[in-house]
Amino acid sequence: MEMKSLFDKDIPKKYFFSSRSIDPSRSPFIKLRISILYTASSLEELVQILSVEKMTCANFKFARFKVEEGQLDYATWIHSVTELGRVIQGEVDMKNPSIQLGITIIDDRWIFGIYERNESPWEKHNLKPYTNSNSLETRTARAVVNIAVGQQIQTRLVDPCCGIGTVVLEALSLAIPVTGYEISWTIANQAKQNVSYFGYDRCIIKGDMHEITEKYDVAILDLPYGLFSHVTDKQQKSIIHASRHITEKLILITCVDMDEEITCAGFTIVDCCTVTKGTFVRYVRVCR
């Protein structure tokens, strides 16, 4: 679901080609990116291209990585980086390179480019001052934010039941304009402190989502559920219905299948998946 939101296509393999320049650290499911500079039908041709182009790097290193169905074994990789390194104008720096270069072979085609790995920036949010056992996992929250906004970083996002701000933090770290509402004074205050802890402007409002009058482009709603909070089925349905008044696009996360209730609220489910943690299952629905 996240890949479809970011790249507008299903990704059947563990690698794919795209003309869209999306930072690999944006998604918890992207391992690395090679920004392709040159392709060739053989190593000799690739060496010749780099030689003619007089490629220059102040200090560089080659990064070793594996690609599903890739055809570059270790011995061939060692030979190739040795040959390529000889024609790149610059110094090899294994400790502090200014740039990392990647090379692989896919479908008998040599691919050479700039290597960038995922730095997992969301992991620092696991160190927030306040946590809650029933909150979304940080990496799941980040993926859900990407599903919500896709390529449109300037999308106005709201989390109408934001809890301690797990989703809000991920949106803020991606520079997405976001507002979080939380009905509990205590939890709203904790969310504010979590946001401030990482240096972000406070965007948490202590308030009831039923009283929201502003319209947003998209909402992410991790529906409060009875296992950890005193919320009845009737209240859950009311919360879903209330979402219709603040947005036309809703990412709804529930702990039980509520497709019927979603439809009754006037939404259409356009995509769906489940997220499993042990025996606990969350249902993720993209609704319009």
Alpha-carbon distance of 71 to 279, in angstroms, equals 38
In the three-class reduction of DSSP (H, G, I as helix; E, B as strand; rest coil), residue 167 is classed as helix
Going by their DSSP bridges, the two strands 204-206 and 178-182 should be labelled as: parallel
pLDDT of residue 123: 97
Alpha-carbon distance of 141 to 283, in angstroms, equals 13
Neighbour tally for 136: CB within 10 Å: 22
Burial (CB < 10 A; 0-12, 13-18, 19+), residue 140, is buried
Mean pLDDT across 179-204: 96
Q: Is the pLDDT of residue 136 over 70?
A: yes
In the three-class reduction of DSSP (H, G, I as helix; E, B as strand; rest coil), residue 136 is classed as coil
Which phi and psi (to 5°) does residue 104 adopt? -155, 175
Contacts of 255 (CB under 8 A, 6+ apart): 223, 225, 227, 280, 281, 282, 283
- DSSP tag of 42: S
Q: Which of 41-55, 72-86, 98-112, 266-280 comes out lowest in average pLDDT?
A: 266-280
What single letter denotes the amino acid at residue 218? Answer: V
265: left (phi over 0), alpha (psi -120 to 50) or beta: alpha
Whether the Cβ atoms of residue 225 and residue 233 lie closer than 8 Å to each other: no
Domains of the chain: 32-117 (3.30.2300), 121-287 (3.40.50.150)
Q: Is the pLDDT of residue 265 over 90?
A: yes
Alpha-carbon distance of 246 to 208, in angstroms, equals 12
Structure tokens of 285? 């629905």
Neighbour tally for 266: CB within 10 Å: 11
Condensed to tens digits (0 to 9), the pLDDT of residues 222-252 reads: 998 654 556 788 889 999 999 999 999 999 9
Structure tokens of 172? 């803020």
Whether the Cβ atoms of residue 87 and residue 47 lie closer than 8 Å to each other: yes
Mean pLDDT of the chain: 94
Q: How many residues appear in the chain?
A: 288
pTM attached to this predicted model: 0.92
What single letter denotes the amino acid at residue 72? Answer: L
Q: Which of 26-40, 57-71, 165-179, 182-196 comes out lowest in average pLDDT?
A: 57-71
Neighbour tally for 47: CB within 10 Å: 19
pLDDT of residue 227: 47
Condensed to tens digits (0 to 9), the pLDDT of residues 61-113 reads: 999 998 988 789 999 999 999 999 999 999 999 999 999 999 999 999 999 99
Instruction: Calculate the CA dihedral of residues 33, 37, 42, 47 and round it to 10 degrees.
Output: -120
